[in-house]
Every structure is written in structure tokens, then in C-alpha cells.
Structure 1
Amino acid sequence: MAAQSHAARRPGRALAALALAAAGGLLAAATVGSGPAGAAGTTLRDLAEAKGSYFGTALTQSNLNSSTITAIAGAQFDVVTPGNEMKWDTTEPSAGNFNFGPGDQIVSFAKAHSMRVRGHTLVWHSQLPSWVGNLPANQVQAAMENHVTTEATHYKGQVYSWDVVNEPFNEDGTLRADAFYNAMGTGYIADALRTAHAADPNAKLYLNDYNIEGLGAKSDAMYQLVSSLKQQGVPIDGVGFESHFIVGQVPGSLKANIQRFTALGVNVAITELDDRMPVPASAANLAQQATDYAYVVNSCLAVAGCVGVSQWGVGDPDSWIPDFFSGYGAATMYDANYQPKAAYNAVVTALGGTGSGSPSPSASASASASSSPSPSTSVPPAGAGCKVSAQVSAWNTGLTENITVTNTGASAVNGWRLAFTLPGGQTVTNAWNATVSPAGGQVGASNLAYNAAIPAGGSTSFGFQADHTGNAAAATGFTLNGVACSAG
């Protein structure tokens, strides 16, 4: 997955579509084929709970003013995360002066709709009042401990879990040099967890971050941190995978990564799921989004220690994405009119329900779990050329391999198949951005509907996860539509 930035704030957007609510058409989106209350067992929350899981959403204070958003949220979701209302700049804007009113409103809504609350967040480098950063280093620990104690105590018994420390890592796996790290070193994380546990011993305590969903330097750093905290006896119950994805770029190593964290004795939660795409949304991207959502849900359901999934926001109009990623949007399961998309029906199907007629692709852990491949591949004209780069990330008996194909010829490639040889003992278990078969030996990767064209000088990427018996080397012998490729 391509690296992505994460916004400091996720404000509610102007909800122009809400004027349509008076027509009565929007609330039909709240369930499969019925109104917001819905038939028993048809909502996301009912289906998830039947599988011992949950399906949550995020709400801001302004969202509570929308009857459309609250109707869908209350009917469909069973966990709510406050978007901004429990962050430090809201709860303690000046030293020792606490404001829990906005957060209390989210909690009240949750109670009224039998929803649990994910507290978000106690310690974060962003949305941090300037007074904290201006403290002398020898006063930061006391300020942090007082903030954590006061807020966790206020919500004691009302919050199911806390994101105690949010986004502690840089992309390379080093810890962020924020006010807390600069004053306290690496020990600030353990101190925050111990302080939160002392204030509310029954709350589940999480570390939460983005770009840790797949295997890589950042997720490795989180894994080592959690392992170290467990060895020290620090109270930690789970890790949150934020999961702000780009359509077609959900890491194929998601399930394996969930498994390795749960093997440490902690839970994993998908905490802020969305899947953005260029707008206006194309039919191909909406179909891929459905595949992506189902794949995420199925990956979580497949691992006993993955406790649930939360989408960040209810629908596209209240999503944070357009405000922070120019040209992107359509990132949730509900469209601009709060009607369910193919992604919604795909999730319903993944949870064991029946969709309402829109595409609901399977996202089983197979090499072909993706959009349909294009019906044919073209042969490049004379003078065609290509180069391929491959990166392998291996562990124990598994690996992921990410492959980038560059068209070095003078003409566009319209439809492609990349043939290559896997080392002995490697077996493909799933793939992304391509259909890969067979699972071993001489293998071919074929384009999907949305990435069939590679312009002259352009590139496309795909990847796969494989089991191995000791040889974790990269694939070799690449040919693109029969033309041998150079390494690059």
C-alpha cells in the first residue's frame, strides 16, 4: 500500500445532502430493504454481533444534529468513536480546565442506542493545546498523567476501550519526537497505559496507528513495542489498525499481520476504516471498493482476536477525506444521498447476511479474490519493452511480494499478463491488484478491469502473499505479454 498522510483533525463537513431527508428517501438506506429500525438480524450491528464481533462508526457533535446520520448510526452500528470530542484540545484546552460536554453528548447518544464507546484519544501529538508543548520538560509527565487520570476517571464505566496513545510512530518505525517523547523518552507510552489502567481498570487499552495494517517497517515497530510492553507487564489489551485505505491498495498481508499481533496476546480492532478513490467515482472503483471492504471484514472475522470493525464516519458527505485529499472521496459504504453502495452489500454478505441487489463480491483469502480480470490481453507492438522491480517482506513461513511493472516501450499496453517463476516451496495464498494463478511454479498475473492500461513510460503495481518452506527469494524470469522484462 502506498504511504499516506493522516489528517490532524477530521472535522464534520457541510452536509448539503441533508436537505433531501425531508423527501423521506434517505432513511431507507439504514438497513437492507427496510427503514432505520429494520428487520431483526438485517443490520450491520446485528449481523456482526451474531458472529461475536461488532461494527462501529465515528460521530462528531455536529453529526448529532442530523436526523439522517443519527438514524443510520443508531440502527446500523453498535460502537461509536467520537471524532474530536475526547481529544486533548477539546477536553483540556488550558491547563487544569476540563470540558467534557461535547464528549458527554456522544456518550449519551451511544447509551440511548445501546452502543458501546471507543474513547479516542488520551495522548496524541496532534490536536494538542499549545500550552502542553510549551511546558518545561520536567513538567510534561505530570501534565500527561493528570490529563489521562482526569479524563479516564470522568468516563469510567462508560467507555468500552481507550486509544490511550494515538499514532506514536513515524513511517520508518521510529517514535515521533513529540512533546511526550522529548520529555520522557520511550517510557511515556508505558506510563500512559499504566495511568489509564489505574483510572479505569475495566476499560480495554489500545495503541492506535495508521499504515500498520500490512507487514512493513512501521507495523514491525508497533509489533516490537507491543511485545516489549507485554514482557514488562504493562497493561495493554489491543492494537488499532486505522485502515485509511486507497481503493485497490488494501495490503494482502492484512490477515497475516492481524494474526501475528493476536499471537502476542492482544486484540486487534479495525478502528477507522475508509477506502478513498478519485471522484467522481467510477463503476470499476466502486466495485473494487466493495471487494476491499469485504476483504477487510473477512480478514478480521478469520482471526479470533480481531474484535470488530469501525468505519470512520457514516456516509460520504460526513467523511473527512475530501477535506484532506484533493480529488478523492466516496470513501464510505453510503453515498452522497446516504444510500448504501456496493460496499455496504458486500459487508452484509461477508457478515453472513443477504445484500439488496448491488454487487457483493466475496473477499475470501484466495489468489483470485478481487475484481474480474479483463477478458483479453493484447500483445504489445514491435519495440515493446518492460522492466520489473520486486520487493519481498518475509517472516517465519510466509512472505509478501510487491511487484511494479513499467512499460518501457513506445506504445501503451492495453491488457496485460505478467508471467514469472516462483522459487521452489512458495505457494501463493492471496493477491491484490491482479489475478494470480496457478499458486506455484510458473505463474501468471493478469490485470483487473481498472488497471488494464499501462501507458508508455507508465507503471502499475500488484502483489501477493505466499507461504514458503525456507526459500523467501523474489520471483524471477518476468515476461510481459511474452516480452522479456529487465530488472529495474
Structure 2
Amino acid sequence: MAEIAAGRGLTYGCAVTAKLLEEEPQFAALVAQEAGLLVPEYEAKFAALQPEEGRFDTAPLDALLRWAEHFRKPVRGHALVWHDALPGWTRAALAEGRTRAMGVLERHFDHVLAHTRLRIRDWDVVNEPVANPPGSDVPEPAGNSGDLRDTPWLRALGPDYVAIALRAARQRDPTLRLTLNDYGVEADTPPAEEKRQRLLRLLRGLRARNVPLDAVGIQGHLQMREPFRAEVFRDFVRQIRALDLQVLITELDVREVRPPSGDFPARDSQVALRVHAFASAAFEGGARTLLTWGISDRWSWLYREQAVALDPGDVHRGLPYDWELNRKQMWRALARAYLGQGVG
């Protein structure tokens, strides 16, 4: 896939873990063959890098980076500031107030960005800052009426925390690509439309205040139960591009309905149609990079996480390769989207 994408001046990549690269040779071989860009699924999150205050553990991330360097594959970072994957000590520290929170953020940025400076040139500096509107799977608490999600960072630093994080990252690395990453803006539904508008308001506000930001990541965790209109999503991507921001699809996968209907070919056909429409719209809108959140159903979070998994004995067929590591219709749909071709 990476070669097909590169032939059109585009990029394909996927999420990986150091453990799978080390312990699953089939996974490692597949990634080496298919991906032109990698992102750590866990190893660069706050809890992984600083499990205890002042004690940084970069060994798993370093192992992943060494593997990537061996195969000459760039790595993007995920994620510096996020409400999830925070160790208990961090949550307690952020609850102590603004001064303490600023110290936590600055020390984490100091260590992590210095350590990865020569090897990671693109970071999700802020992940999932936008509030989920009413009607979303996980809407904001009734008391939160703003555009920003209620998080420990928001409570500690106020609504300017996104700008604080972006400025802190730029100060430490002037040439780093700074990315703001979020989800829930892909579907043709009222909650998704409201979240698109919230994200655009945030981006325009950052631009108006000259806050450094280079790119927007749209996760692309698609759900088959939600309607999708290509022109709506394409135009949204164009609106972001009009702000002189790059757009990346950072975490593409597909969640099927529960229970799924039909046999594997029928299911795969529906997933492929959705992925082709989504990826084509993204590229037409101006996105140039697309990553899937994994590469095979066998190792997907959609299988591991009980909250999103299908019934026992079944798995979401939401990645380019199936459990047996065969290319699915989704792989071919992505390839045709990269080539600018119809679904076929």
C-alpha cells in the first residue's frame, strides 16, 4: 500500500506496538511490507512515558523507533496532552491547580520532545480536545456547555490549555509539525455536524490568536450504523485546508453493526464501500496522509476492547487484512482511493 500511495504523492501508514513488532513476526513482516509511516499505539502516551512523576520510561518507544529506523520508516508521535492514558499521579497533580499543572506539562514536554527530537517530527500535541455534543455515544456532562471537552487539563489550565500546549511544543522544537487530533466528525449525523462546527471554531480561534498549529488529525473510527455522505466530509476537510492547515487521517478502522448481518464477503463489501467513500472524500478534500489503527483484524483494538468488540466468536472486519492475514476488500478499496479510481 505504501508504494501505491507514494506513487500519487500520498502516504499510507498504520499504528503498531513494540510488543507486536518483537513477538509477532507475521505482524512485523506485514507492517514492513505495507506501511510507509508508523504511529505508536501506546508507547508514546503519557502513562507509558512517565508512569511515576519524574521517572521516564522510553524503552518500549525506543524499541519501536529502532525497528522503524532499521526499515527506514518515519514515526509520528501520539499523544502529548490527552485526558486519557494519564497515570494516577498526574491526575492528582493537575487537581492541585494551574501552577502545578503547568509544571507537569512543561517537564513532560522538556523530556519527551528532547528525547524524540531527531526521530519524531510530527506529534499529536493535543488529542481529543473537542466536546462531544448531545446525541453522541459519550456526550459531555450536562453542565458543560462549551466547545471543549471537560478534562483534567481544562479544569487545571482553563480553556487556553490547547494553546498553551501548542506554544510549549513550538518553543521546544521550532520545526516540529504540531497536530491537533480528534474524532467523531466523520458521519452525516447532527452530533457529528455539531462537532465539526465546534472543531472549526476551535481552529479559527487558534488561528486568530496566532497559536502555532500545522495540521489536524481526523481519526476516522468509522461506524457502519452511522450514515456517511462523501460531499459533506470532503467539504469539511476543505474548510480545514482553507485555514492553511494540513489534514491527516490518523486512526482509520471500521466498526460493524451489532450483530453483523450476512457472510464475510457481504460484510467486507459494505466495509469496503464505506472506506472507499471516506478515503476518496478525504483525498479530494486535500488530505495527503492516511493511517489505519492497526493492519489486521487479529490484533485490532476492536477485538481486544470489550466495550466495542462483537459477540464472542466474531470480530469486526474493519482493517485491511483479516484474521488469517489475507487482504480484504478494504485493502483494495483503499488502494483504489489512493489511485483516484472508483470503487470497482
Name the counterpart of 1:236: 213
Letter in 2 for 1:349: R
Alignment of 1:303-342 (within 5 A): 303-304=285-286, 306-322=287-303, 323=305, 324-327=307-310, 329-342=316-329
> 2:288 is paired with a residue of what secondary structure?
strand
Of 293-302 and 75-84, the range deviating more from structure 2: 293-302
> 1:143 is paired with a residue of what secondary structure?
helix
Distance change in 2, residues 1:331/1:142 (3 Å) = same
Of 135-144 and 278-287, the range deviating more from structure 2: 278-287
Q: Does residue 1:152 correspond to 2:113, yes or no?
A: yes
Contact 1:205 1:235 in 2 (8 A): yes
With normalisation by structure 2, the TM-score equals 0.86
How many residue pairs are counted as aligned between the two chains? 313
Cα deviation, 1:268-315, whole Å, max 9, x if unaligned, reads 1110000122458633221011111212221122133x1210000010
Q: Does residue 1:58 correspond to 2:35, yes or no?
A: no
> 2:211 is paired with a residue of what secondary structure?
coil
- Structure 1 Cα separation of the partners of residues 60 and 88 of structure 2: 20
Match of 1:286 among 268, 276, 286: 268
> 2:55 is paired with a residue of what secondary structure?
coil
Name the counterpart of 2:245: 266
Q: Which runs of 5+ in 1 are unaligned?
A: 1-43, 355-359, 363-488
Distance change in 2, residues 1:248/1:350 (3 Å) = farther
Name the counterpart of 1:257: 236
Name the counterpart of 1:76: 34
- Structure 2 Cα separation of the partners of residues 101 and 233 of structure 1: 36
Q: Look at both structures and tell me which one has the larger radius of gyration over its CA atoms.
A: 1
Q: Name the % identity.
A: 28
> 1:160 is paired with a residue of what secondary structure?
strand
Contact 1:157 1:200 in 2 (8 A): no
> 1:228 is paired with a residue of what secondary structure?
helix
Match of 2:338 among 348, 351, 355: 351
With normalisation by structure 1, the TM-score equals 0.62
Of 278-287 and 184-193, the range deviating more from structure 2: 278-287
Distance change in 2, residues 1:250/1:122 (3 Å) = farther
Greater share of strand: 1
Match of 2:89 among 131, 135, 138: 131
| Higher RCO (C-alpha under 8 Å, 6+ residues apart) | 2
- Structure 2 Cα separation of the partners of residues 237 and 352 of structure 1: 26
Give the CA deviation at 1:250: 5.7
Greater share of helix: 2
Give the CA deviation at 1:342: 0.8
Name the counterpart of 1:224: 201
Contact 1:281 1:330 in 2 (8 A): no
> 1:216 is paired with a residue of what secondary structure?
helix
Cα deviation, 1:131-168, whole Å, max 9, x if unaligned, reads 11112113011111211221111111211310001111
Cα deviation, 1:115-137, whole Å, max 9, x if unaligned, reads 11110000111010111111211
> 2:285 is paired with a residue of what secondary structure?
coil
Name the counterpart of 2:168: 195
> 2:339 is paired with a residue of what secondary structure?
coil
Cα deviation, 1:186-221, whole Å, max 9, x if unaligned, reads 111111111111222222111111102355111211
Q: CA RMSD in A?
A: 1.9
Match of 1:106 among 51, 64, 86: 64
Give the CA deviation at 1:254: 1.3
Match of 2:126 among 165, 168, 178: 165
Contact 2:280 2:340 in 1 (8 A): no
Cα deviation, 1:55-77, whole Å, max 9, x if unaligned, reads 01000122112111111111111
Match of 1:245 among 222, 237, 246: 222
Contact 1:272 1:312 in 2 (8 A): yes
> 1:272 is paired with a residue of what secondary structure?
strand
Name the counterpart of 1:398: none
> 1:134 is paired with a residue of what secondary structure?
helix
Distance change in 2, residues 1:281/1:309 (3 Å) = farther
